[in-house]
Amino acid sequence: MDKKCDHEERDNMPLPQKSVQKDFAEFVNKNKDLINSIARSNTTKNDAGITVIPKDDPWRDEHEWDDMYKELKEK
C-alpha cells in the first residue's frame, strides 16, 4: 500500500482507530530492535541462509489454504 493511500485511509478512520494506530506505531518505533531480535531468533534458515519452514512446523499441515486455492482456481 502506498503512503498516499495509507494516509487517506488514516484520515477517514474514526478517532479511536487513529489512536490505536498511533499507539501501535509508537510501540513499534520504541521497540523495533527487540522486535527484530525476536523475529530473527524465531526464524529458521537453511545452510544457504534462506528462510525456510521446518518439516515439523504445524503450518505445513494447514490444508485449508490448499482447499481455498482449489476453490479459487475452479471459479
Give the domain ranges of the chain. Answer: 3-74
Contact (CB, 8 A) for 41 and 34: no
Nine-digit cell string for 52: 525456510
- Is the pLDDT assigned to residue 68 strictly greater than 50? yes
Q: What's the confidence (pLDDT) of residue 9? A: 66
Stronger pLDDT, 6 or 41, i.e. the higher one: 41
What pTM does this model have? 0.48
Q: Is the dihedral of CA 40, 43, 47, 51 positive or negative?
A: negative
Amino acid letter, residue 51:
T
How does residue 12 score in pLDDT terms, banded at 50, 70 and 90?
Answer: confident
Nine-digit cell string for 74: 475452479
Percent of the chain whose predicted confidence (pLDDT) is above 70: 81
Helix H or strand E encompassing 18: helix 15-41
Percent of the chain whose predicted confidence (pLDDT) is above 90: 40
